[in-house]
Amino acid sequence: MKHDDNVLEVENVDLGYGTLKVVHGVSLHVARHELVGLVGGNGSGKSTILRAISGMIQPWSGTIRFNGNIVRGLAPYQLAELGLAHVPMGRQLFPNMNVEENLLVGSYLPRLRAGRQARLEKVYSLFPDLKPLSRMMAGALSGGQQQMVAIGRAIMLDPAMLIMDEPSLGLSPLYVKEVMKAIRRVAEAGLPVLLVEQNIKQVLKVSHRCYVLENGKLVLDGPSAELEGHPLIRKAYLGL
Ligand SMILES: Nc1ncnc2c1ncn2[C@@H]1O[C@H](COP(=O)(O)OP(=O)(O)OP(=O)(O)O)[C@@H](O)[C@H]1O
Ligand SMILES: [Mg+2]
């Protein structure tokens, strides 16, 4: 599968905790300029796969390559330095710092200091709603606004790729749509994204391709436009 156009390649990985295997032989890839969804129900293993990609846990077997580097043995901060930005579940902003201060936290690495004003402008152009809120405390923002700050902070790392764990979690339907549209803009600006979600309906609308995970195994994948009409998706996930 190794292909120069892929920023991320996960090849036949088994993952687990202790002696319990929870992910079985999963392979997936994300090419440059792609927005790829990884969807599945509660406990299907989505976050476990993200943890392995970002170096928090090690695969039992199989290989993960990020930007041509084999991830095995690299710590999360080393992957961040290589350009992998992980937007964690639950946003994790500093509530008593304002929006701009939260964004600037993303540019803490010495090599990022130079261009950080330009990147701040880029974040405000991707999320125009944030600009007038730049002096507001993050803790006072709505859930959807906080999610945009969390994504913006990841962009401040000047990453080669974004991985996101359930950005729609806890948001009202209106904000879910807003956040999904914002993620689409991020991908269209040239940043590849792996988007993990339970909300398959929304992910199919914005992503280019999608993988469906059940009980730690991939059961389906393909172009999102095709999956929307697939009988399994319509029946099991869209309730049609
Ligand atoms: N730290 C852990 N120790 C032991 N088992 C874990 C741990 N984290 C997750 N698991 C188990 O691994 C399985 C997959 O969990 P995971 O969090 O990857 O699922 P998920 O698809 O992200 O689910 P959700 O949509 O609820 O976030 C579950 O059975 C879970 O109980
Ligand atoms: Mg999860």
64-68, 107-111, 169-173, range with the lowest pLDDT = 107-111
User: What atom in ligand 1 is closest to the CA of residue 51?
Assistant: 18
Which residues lie at CB < 5 A from ion ligand 2? 46-47
Say how many residues make up the chain.
240
**pLDDT tens figures, 179-215:** 899 899 999 989 999 999 998 999 999 999 999 999 9
pLDDT at 77: 87
Q: What is the mean pLDDT of the chain?
A: 91
Domain 6-87+160-237 in CATH 3.30.70.1450? The answer is: no
**pLDDT tens figures, 78-133:** 998 899 998 876 668 899 999 999 999 877 777 777 888 999 999 999 999 999 99
**Measured from the CB, is residue 208 less than 6 Å from ligand 1?**
no
Q: Contact at 8 Å (CB) between 212 and 233? A: yes
Mutate to test the pocket of ligand 1, among 20, 24, 38, 47 (most ligand atoms within 8 A of CB): 47
pLDDT at 62: 97
**Measured from the CB, is residue 22 less than 6 Å from ligand 1?**
yes
Q: How far is CA 197 from CA 58, 63, 157, 221, in A?
A: 22, 23, 23, 15
The beta-strand segments (E) located in the chain are: 6-17, 20-31, 35-40, 61-66, 69-70, 84-87, 161-165, 193-197, 209-214, 217-223
6-10, 35-39, 106-110, 189-193, range with the lowest pLDDT = 106-110
Q: What is the pTM of this model?
A: 0.92
pLDDT at 1: 45
Strand, helix or coil for residue 8: strand
- Domain segments of the chain: what residues? 6-87+160-237
**Measured from the CB, is residue 17 less than 6 Å from ligand 1?**
yes
